[in-house]
């Protein structure tokens, strides 16, 4: 006797009580979580396996809207994947395709589908009694998808074609039968074909598992009941979000911030936001943002909306993660803006731009409700590739994202060395990197004076130094915040700038002419590159920080004697002893 017969609830379809709703929400989230875990555990490249740059969920059969998303995947995908699924729906319609159970679409188009070429999306229709019930999707950041730069963060790209292969939605499986030709094409276009094969298989395993689990859930309850639960969960998110907006005073709240450059033209790019609150509606107007640029820091409109979703979820944490969050939100993002480009504009560095979108959200919100905001986080992922050939001729590509400080916030100082707001990634263990690639980390430390001054100080960024153990390698860096530091809020100061150091042709220390982006650095055995990542912005006026806490910061080396005096107006000895009288005088 199947357990399902015992677990039927007494509730009629269409009228869900809050208890059953909570139960179904938990079950649905567990399905997506388990899909996440399946891919993380079986993936080959550390960007997925360790950094969790992947996501799984269930999406609406007609609109592609996010119904349920795993809790452990990359937050930015929560918003972006609905656009990806919509692109598949549009393709089916446009090409007049007949969907079959067991079909799986694969693609990485970043314009309609969001994010960048490295993210391969697999979308699979889920049928229930011969009828389409929803879509399931898996997205993961692959190690290398071709293009000019190993690891695909190419700061010199001016067209997407220089960033990697671009695959439109095509069927990897038809009615459950794999098309091996597609796998062969994908593998032939990657510097890391084995890694690609492993990650692709992990994503297929995750979809298989989701298929099985969702089927079990619908057997246990009914399709109607589960559908009704999904509708109500969305309504609930929309209601909570509207309530939060209603609580804000009507008005316009603005912020602007800058990207260093696009990697091609050395000129700053503006990201500007006006938040307009009117009753229960909120408009996010990005009209004052720079035009699209030549280099790869453009993003598609779908990506811009997805990043606003992430910022809203960080600020209004109790709203459930589904498309209801965006219901009371209107977007103004002019076509041709930096935040709304189409093919073939390069978008490989999308992570940098969406971090800036999130930063302006925090700053603009802090102007009306500082108690709900926080200083900006370090604001750059510092995508670093080291690539070369081993003595036996084998190709190696080490590709990693680095961290930095989080902003000071209403409860206290910012977190030292956190992950980017768009991700929940952890960094791969250094011992695993050292075992896999010919490198040695020579420093892995917190960076003094990098936290933005504030009543609650920004968290510290980090210093990472890497030495090459093989004969030679090429290094590529894609970063930001080399010229515009992470802002504080509510009177808090800025975190430190990002700084990258490498040996030039004479072996002298050099920094990139474009501040935070660089290609084709030739490194030879024993030479080192160094990232000094930004800290977070401060929260509140630095001169109101308790002197005893500054003295402690100096004693532990988080803040220098000089910065204590300049930023905090505090006189502290190198040993961390406060001169109370001198401080009082300075602060007067």
Restricted to residues 317-346, the positions that interact with another protein (CB under 8 A) are 317-318, 321
Give, as ranges, the residues between 388 and 417 that touch another protein (CB under 8 A).
402-403, 406-407, 409-417
Length of the chain: 588
451 contacts another protein (rule: CB under 8 A): no
Q: Shortest approach of another protein to residue 568 CB, angstroms? A: 19
Task: For residues 151 and 531, give the distance between their C-alpha atoms in angstroms, rounded to a whole number.
Answer: 18
Give, as ranges, the residues between 454 and 473 that touch another protein (CB under 8 A).
462, 465, 469
Residue from 422, 341, 346 nearest 381 by CA? 422
Which of 94, 394, 435, 506 lies at the binding interface for another protein (CB under 8 A)? 435
377 contacts another protein (rule: CB under 8 A): yes
434 contacts another protein (rule: CB under 8 A): yes
152 contacts another protein (rule: CB under 8 A): no
22 contacts another protein (rule: CB under 8 A): yes
Strands 131-141 and 170-174: unpaired
27 contacts another protein (rule: CB under 8 A): yes
Q: Shortest approach of another protein to residue 100 CB, angstroms? A: 21
Which of the stretches 270-278, 287-295, 420-428, 496-504 binds another protein when contact is defined by CB under 8 A?
420-428
Placement of tokens 């809020």 in the chain: 489
Q: What secondary structure letter does DSSP report for 496? A: P
Burial of 371 per CB tally in 10 Å (0-12, 13-18, 19+)? exposed
Task: For residues 376 and 378, give the distance between their C-alpha atoms in angstroms, rounded to a whole number.
Answer: 7
145 contacts another protein (rule: CB under 8 A): no
Which of 63, 287, 335, 426 lies at the binding interface for another protein (CB under 8 A)? 426
178 contacts another protein (rule: CB under 8 A): no
Q: What secondary structure letter does DSSP report for 392? A: T
Residue from 45, 52, 258, 266 nearest 155 by CA? 266
Nearer to another protein, 43 or 160 (CB): 43
In the chain, count H helices and then E strands: 13, 20
187 contacts another protein (rule: CB under 8 A): no
124 contacts another protein (rule: CB under 8 A): no
Give, as ranges, the residues between 224 and 253 that touch another protein (CB under 8 A).
236-237, 239-240, 243
Task: For residues 149 and 159, give the distance between their C-alpha atoms in angstroms, rounded to a whole number.
Answer: 13
444 contacts another protein (rule: CB under 8 A): yes
Task: For residues 518 and 478, give the distance between their C-alpha atoms in angstroms, rounded to a whole number.
Answer: 7
Other Cβ atoms within 10 Å of 42 Cβ, number:
17
Task: Count CA atoms within 13 Å of residue 244 on its CB side.
Answer: 22
- C-alpha dihedral over 113, 116, 117, 121, to 10 degrees? -40
Q: Is-contact 300 255, C-beta < 8 A?
A: no
573 contacts another protein (rule: CB under 8 A): no
Phi, psi of 17 (to 5 degrees): -80, 160
Give, as ranges, the residues between 547 and 566 that touch another protein (CB under 8 A).
555-558
Which of 128, 288, 367, 440 lies at the binding interface for another protein (CB under 8 A)? 440
Nearer to another protein, 227 or 462 (CB): 462
42 contacts another protein (rule: CB under 8 A): yes
Q: Shortest approach of another protein to residue 441 CB, angstroms? A: 7
Residue from 514, 508, 448 nearest 481 by CA? 514
283 contacts another protein (rule: CB under 8 A): no
Which of 54, 88, 427, 571 lies at the binding interface for another protein (CB under 8 A)? 427
Q: Shortest approach of another protein to residue 26 CB, angstroms? A: 5
In 277-425, which residue ranges form alpha helices assigned H by DSSP?
301-315, 350-366
Q: Shortest approach of another protein to residue 79 CB, angstroms? A: 13
Find the largest Cα–Cα distance for the chain.
Answer: 81
Q: Shortest approach of another protein to residue 413 CB, angstroms? A: 7
Q: Shortest approach of another protein to residue 158 CB, angstroms? A: 32
The tokens of 437 are what?
Answer: 């690639």
588 contacts another protein (rule: CB under 8 A): no
């Amino acid at each position: 006797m199947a357990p399902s017969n015992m677990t039927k609830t007494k509730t009629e379809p269409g009228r869900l009580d809050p208890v059953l709703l909570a139960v179904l929400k938990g079950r649905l989230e567990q399905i997506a979580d388990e899909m996440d875990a399946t891919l993380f555990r079986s993936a080959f490249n550390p960007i997925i396996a360790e950094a969790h740059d992947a996501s799984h969920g269930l999406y609406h059969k007609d609109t592609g809207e996010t119904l349920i998303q795993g809790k452990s995947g990359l937050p930015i995908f929560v918003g972006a994947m609905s656009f990806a699924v919509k692109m598949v729906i549009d393709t089916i319609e446009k090409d007049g395709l007949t969907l079959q159970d067991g079909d799986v679409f694969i693609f990485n188009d970043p314009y309609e589908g969001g994010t960048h070429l490295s993210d391969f999306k697999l979308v699979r229709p889920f049928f229930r009694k011969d009828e389409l019930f929803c879509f399931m999707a898996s997205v993961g950041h692959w190690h290398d998808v071709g293009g000019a730069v190993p690891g695909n963060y190419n700061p010199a790209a001016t067209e997407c074609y220089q960033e990697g292969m671009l695959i439109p939605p095509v069927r990897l499986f038809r009615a459950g039968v794999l098309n091996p030709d597609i796998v062969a094409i994908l593998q032939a276009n990657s510097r890391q074909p084995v890694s690609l094969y492993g990650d692709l298989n992990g994503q297929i395993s995750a979809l298989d598992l989701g298929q099985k689990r969702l089927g079990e859930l619908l057997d246990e309850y009914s399709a109607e009941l589960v559908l009704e639960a999904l509708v109500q969960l969305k309504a609930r998110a929309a209601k909570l979000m509207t309530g939060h907006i209603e609580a804000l005073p009507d008005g316009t709240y603005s912020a602007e911030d800058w990207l260093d450059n696009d990697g091609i033209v050395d000129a700053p790019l503006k990201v500007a936001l006006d938040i307009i609150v009117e009753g229960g509606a909120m408009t996010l107007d990005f009209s004052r943002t720079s035009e699209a640029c030549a280099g790869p820091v453009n993003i598609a409109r779908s990506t811009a909306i997805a990043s606003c979703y992430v910022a809203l979820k960080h600020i209004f944490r109790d709203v459930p993660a589904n498309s209801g969050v965006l219901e009371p939100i209107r977007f103004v993002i002019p076509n041709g803006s930096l935040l709304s480009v189409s093919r073939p504009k390069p978008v490989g560095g999308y992570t940098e731009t969406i971090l800036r979108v999130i930063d302006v959200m925090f700053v603009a919100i802090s102007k009306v409700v500082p108690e709900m905001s926080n200083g900006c986080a370090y604001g750059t992922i510092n995508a670093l590739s080291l690539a070369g050939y081993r003595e036996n001729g084998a190709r190696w590509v080490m590709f990693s994202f680095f961290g930095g400080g989080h902003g000071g916030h209403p409860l206290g100082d910012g977190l030292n060395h956190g992950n980017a707001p768009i991700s929940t990634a952890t960094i791969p263990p250094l011992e695993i990197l050292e075992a896999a690639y010919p490198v040695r980390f020579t420093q892995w430390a917190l960076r003094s004076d990098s936290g933005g001054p504030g009543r609650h100080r920004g968290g510290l960024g980090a210093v990472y130094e890497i030495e090459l153990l093989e004969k030679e390698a090429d290094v590529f860096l894609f970063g930001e915040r080399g010229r515009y530091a992470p802002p504080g809020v509510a009177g808090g100061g800025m975190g430190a700038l990002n700084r990258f150091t490498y040996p030039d042709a004479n072996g002298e220390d050099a920094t990139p002419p474009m501040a935070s982006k660089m290609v084709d650095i030739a490194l030879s055995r024993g030479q080192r590159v160094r990232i000094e990542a930004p800290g977070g912005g401060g929260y509140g006026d630095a001169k109101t920080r308790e002197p005893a806490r500054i003295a402690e910061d100096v004693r532990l080396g988080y803040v220098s004697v000089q910065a204590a005096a300049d930023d905090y107006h505090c006189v502290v000895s190198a040993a961390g002893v406060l001169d109370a009288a001198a401080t009082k005088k300075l602060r007067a």
